A and B are shown apart, each in its own frame.
Chain A
Amino acid sequence: DAGVTQSPTHLIKTRGQHVTLRCSPISGHKSVSWYQQVLGQGPQFIFQYYEKEERGRGNFPDRFSARQFPNYSSELNVNALLLGDSALYLCASSLRGSGNNEQFFGPGTRLTVL
């Protein structure tokens, strides 16, 4: 079975631009979460979507938005990119929204903002 997939793997943008990152969960999983990992730190929670509804949001500005599609894939959008948005963006897939619920991560998208 395919694991969590993310695209693209790498991306270079300039300040002020917009970016869209994509994630496909494990087949049968209905929850997708997004995390940002800057160099030297643990991942930080950005969003969780479950059954196509936003279930949680971390401490990130409104420039960050996301959505989940009927096939449970998800997009993360970041507007007006800043240098500080340079990071590894990770997508996690799980069967349920919370509780007894193991999460599985994709390979990530490495975003560089120049």
Chain B
Amino acid sequence: GIQVEQSPPDLILQEGANSTLRCNFSDSVNNLQWFHQNPWGQLINLFYIPSGTKQNGRLSATTVATERYSLLYISSSQTTDSGVYFCAVEPGSSNTGKLIFGQGTTLQVKP
């Protein structure tokens, strides 16, 4: 089945710094989403981005489907950005809507 790999696994930043999180996937996808999981476990939707580029405030994302990767950019990081960031894909061969998640990137932003 499709493999989803996220890097780096852990990231520590000073407040105000910028960062780039990467998601590589091994096959074609119908759907790609980025989530932020807060300390209480809630998965917050950041981007639905099977292809192209989107921006939302300090966050932006780019998916290059032909090269099978997606990037999440966080600019001017704040302590509230801390948490785990997941990339999840729906395989192109799937008709179930099943999302395959990466292992996540744990971000800690220090004041």
Instruction: Identify which of residues 43-63 in chain B touch chain A, using a CB-to-CB cut-off of 8 Å.
Output: 43, 45, 48, 50
A and B contact pairs by CB, cutoff 8 A, 12 listed: A45-B98, A48-B97, A48-B98, A55-B95, A98-B90, A98-B95, A100-B31, A102-B33, A102-B45, A103-B31, A107-B42, A108-B42
Interchain pairs with CB closer than 8 A, number: 80
Whether B102 pairs with A55 at a CB distance below 8 angstroms is: no
What is the number of residues of chain A that contact chain B, defined by CB distance less than 8 Å?
31
Whether B40 pairs with A107 at a CB distance below 8 angstroms is: yes
Contact of A48 among B41, B48, B96, B101 (CB under 8 A): B96
Assess whether B12 is interfacial by the CB under 8 Å rule.
no
Interface residues of B (CB under 8 A from A): 30-31, 33, 35, 40-43, 45, 48, 50, 86, 88, 90, 94-104
Assess whether A72 is interfacial by the CB under 8 Å rule.
no
Q: Which of B30, B98, B102 has the most CB of A within 10 A?
A: B98
Known A-B contacts: A43-B86, A107-B41. Give 8 more (CB < 8 A).
Answer: A37-B41, A42-B86, A43-B99, A55-B95, A55-B96, A92-B99, A96-B97, A97-B97
Residues of B within 8 A of A101 (CB): 30-31, 90, 97
Whether A42 pairs with B104 at a CB distance below 8 angstroms is: yes
Q: Given A42-B103, A97-B96 in contact, is the A103-B40 Cβ separation under 8 Å? A: no
Q: Which of B50, B97, B102, B103 has the most CB of A within 10 A?
A: B97
Assess whether A56 is interfacial by the CB under 8 Å rule.
yes
Residues of A within 8 A of B31 (CB): 99-103
Whether B97 pairs with A56 at a CB distance below 8 angstroms is: yes
Whether A56 pairs with B98 at a CB distance below 8 angstroms is: yes
Residues of B within 8 A of A108 (CB): 41-42
Q: Given A41-B103, A105-B43 in contact, is the A99-B30 Cβ separation under 8 Å? A: yes
Q: Could you tell me the distance between the alpha carbons of A94 and B88 in the complex, rounded to whole angstroms?
A: 15
